[in-house]
Amino acid sequence: MNEVLKTIAERNSCRDFTGAPLTDEQVGILVDAALAAPSAMNRQPWRLVVIRDKALIEELDATGVGVMAADADKTAYERTMSRGGKLFYNAPCLIYILHDGSKYAVLDSGILCQTVALAAQSIGLTSCIVGMAAMPISGPNGAEVRKRLKFPDGFEFAIGILVGAANAGKEPHEPDPEKVTYIG
């Protein structure tokens, strides 16, 4: 199996990071990979906010959990609490992927996110794609949080991705060939 296919097959969602900081070189590799991601008509409708400040990530985590706790629907909150009460699993790097709202921007942001996940895996790190990164920026103080995180005007949250070293290995999900229909 070639290295790309091996990286794809081995990638999994980590929910238990060591917290060890990423090096500047590692972050540079991830950002370069992100910026090389394809986009519809090469519009590159994204912006990235790369957060490596551990205290800030922990603050965002607590804020997000608080937003979920205040929600009338406790489903997300209860699931988070059953997994240790953390949104960001002690990750040392949180990348917010933002989009400009244009026609294919959400799809393009997903492609960028997967590119970062695979780049992380290829350099011996792991990742977790986290929609819950929206929580700290959607609560009653969301505008303040977005300003503090330097979100550019006109850009919306697409997805977040956590990157770091895993405390323990985890098997990737089992591929399900029943999800494929072949024609021809």
Any domain includes 87: yes
CATH code of the domain covering residue 144: 3.40.109.10
Any domain includes 178: no
Per-residue pLDDT tens, the chain, 184 aa: give them: 799 999 888 899 999 999 999 999 999 999 999 999 999 999 999 999 999 999 999 999 999 999 999 989 999 999 999 989 999 999 999 999 999 999 999 999 999 999 999 999 999 999 999 999 999 999 899 999 999 999 999 999 999 999 999 998 777 778 888 899 999 9
C-alpha separations of 55 from 17, 93, 151 in Å: 15, 11, 19
- Residue range(s) defining the domain that contains residue 125: 14-168
Could you tell me the maximum CA-CA distance found in the chain, to the nearest angstrom? 54
Residue-level pLDDT at 170: 73
- The number of domains in the chain is 1
Any domain includes 5: no
By the 8 A CB rule, do 90 and 166 touch?
A: no
Cα 103 to Cα 35: distance, rounded to the nearest angstrom: 19
Helices (H), the chain: 3-10, 24-35, 54-70, 75-82, 105-122, 135-138, 142-148
DSSP secondary structure string, 96-110? EEEE---TTHHHHHH
Any domain includes 121: yes
Residue-level pLDDT at 39: 97
